[in-house]
Structure 1
């Protein structure tokens, strides 16, 4: 593990669980800082804005900076980069913070009373505790009239101290129908890959991605030919490996073992 110079960490299930840090997460990041390693945080978190999430993690004691956090909003920006985002309006079935961040990024966010043609609207779905039936229904009506569906992340479940939370990918099953395949902008999508490459200026040599999801974390690493580390502290257990399609470079029970290995 010491041979890497660039470390990409997933958050939920890897460094945090619910509202708290997992054991040795803080110590691992601090150790890498002392060794002058470059650290990024690559998350599918669809609820809080990038700035709020950074501040919340800092309050938990994690050594993280705003520019090191890569979120699905950055994948969304990559998706719209070759398109004219001014000509596409967004209806967001998601959190208020995500709506505010999209507006700050120059997107036009509309409500259920929008007068635009549905074909010029994209429905953006992101899991949030305050998601309502009305938001889902308005999004579904727009899709039936030609609107595109964009998922901030495709994860089915999110780790939580009580078990698992229903995530965006599960909620999307309500909106999906045979003629409307959604666009996913979070890990492991091409758009999130581009966000990662942009952060690294295209150089991913001596890099490693550490996460708990075979689909999103190991998947994005394999797509970019980056070494991967699976930790079994979140959505994936060691027993699932016998049926796995995406295989990691190495497996650890948690970041505790990575910390012990790196600190020497």
Structure 2
């Protein structure tokens, strides 16, 4: 149940109650490239009180390194590597595979997604195929008779992919259905996401055809899934 804070004492009590504060980014810290008033002051106050500050986002097209650039550009303090404070759904998917399910090092991931997701998988030491590979970013008809299953692929990870096509969906479907042990992971289930000019289909819309064809739901590593918290705790 939500409670309206109406006094200085209410705010002080709320601050004392929690040691860790998690913030969404788009619409909470900024709108597009415009910082929301008061953000820097609130975050500085939390740090002065020795609170742990974390930033979470379902944007799976960017890596933490890319997101750090935006924080720096807008003048918002945020750390990666020295102490992880930025958690995107792409990073959560990579951590889920490396630290939660502990994917064996020799195994690979088939990716439906963009370079940010690939970068996070690479940082976690996970080999992958698909994704931005030009061979998969094609509008040519998919020929199943010429497709060879890579036996080392143990998971399919699906994020937002603005170059989604039938080849990527078909390959992912083959890995999921031919190998009953193959994991199905989605970075998030957002049906849409806000662009500067309006709503566009989100990562959940990209994974939807696979969910329907495969008849199974993926493990979601983005907000509001508890899996993201598992990934944060794993680090």
| Alpha-carbon distance in 2 for matches of 1:65, 1:166 | 30
8 Å CA contact 1:157–1:165 kept in 2: the answer is yes
Change (3 A) 1:114 1:19: farther
Distance 1:156 1:2 in 2: 33
Q: 1:74 aligns with which of 68, 92, 99?
A: 92
Q: How big is the shift at 1:133?
A: 4.7
Report the CA distance shift for 1:12/1:131 in structure 2 as closer, same or farther (over 3 A).
farther
For residues 48 and 181 of structure 1, the distance between their equivalents in structure 2, rounded to whole angstroms, comes to 24
Could you tell me whether the CA contact under 8 Å between 1:150 and 1:185 is conserved in 2? yes
| Alignment RMSD | 2.7
Q: Is the Cα contact below 8 Å between 2:92 and 2:232 reproduced in 1?
A: no
Task: Give distance in 2, aligned partners of 1:193 and 1:37.
Answer: 18
Note the 1:5-84 alignment, pairs <5 A.
5-66=19-80, 67-72=84-89, 73-81=91-99, 82-84=101-103
Q: Equivalents in 2 of 1:52, 1:32: separation in Å?
A: 24
> SS of the residue aligned with 2:208?
helix
Comparing 84-93 with 127-136, which one deviates more in the overlay?
127-136
Match of 2:194 in 1: 159
Q: Secondary structure at the match of 2:171?
A: helix
Aligned CA distance change for structure 1 residues 197 and 103 (closer, same or farther; 3 Å): closer
Change (3 A) 1:85 1:167: farther
| 1:15 CA drift (Å) | 1.6
Instruction: Decide whether aligned partners of structure 1 residues 48 and 162 sit closer, same or farther in structure 2, where only a CA change above 3 A counts.
Output: same
Q: In the alignment, which residue of structure 2 is the partner of 1:194? A: 230
Distance in 2 between residues matched to 1:7 and 1:22, nearest whole Å? 18
After superposition, the Cα gap between the structure-2 partners of 1:53 and 1:179, relative to the gap in structure 1 and judged at 3 Å, is same
Structure 2: segments with no counterpart, 5+ residues = 1-13, 131-135, 137-146
Deviations 1:153-176 (A, max 9, x none): 122222334333321112211211
CA gap of 1:84–1:175, structure 2 versus 1, over 3 A, is closer
* Whole-angstrom CA distance in 2 between matches of 1:36 and 1:148: 39
1:198 CA drift (Å)? 4.2
Contiguous gaps of at least 5 residues in structure 1: 200-264
Higher CA-based Rg:
2
List per-residue Cα deviations over 1:100-153 (Å, max 9, x = no partner): 3312211111235765138x4322111144444543343234334334421011
- CA deviation map 1:9-56 (0-9, x unaligned): 111232233344333333332333344432111222211111121122
The alignment's TM-score, normalised by the length of structure 1, stands at 0.64
1:187 aligned counterpart, secondary structure: coil
Partner of 1:223: none
Q: Is the 8 A contact 1:95 1:131 kept in 2?
A: no
What displacement does 1:75 show? Answer: 4.6
Q: How many residues align?
A: 198
1-side partners of 2:199 and 2:41: how far apart?
A: 25
Tell me the distance in 1 between the aligned counterparts of 2:148 and 2:42: 48
Aligned residue number for residue 150 of structure 2: 116
- Map 1:132-211; keep pairs closer than 5 Å: 132-146=165-179, 147-177=182-212, 179-198=215-234
Q: C-alpha distance in 1, partners of 2:97/2:128?
A: 16
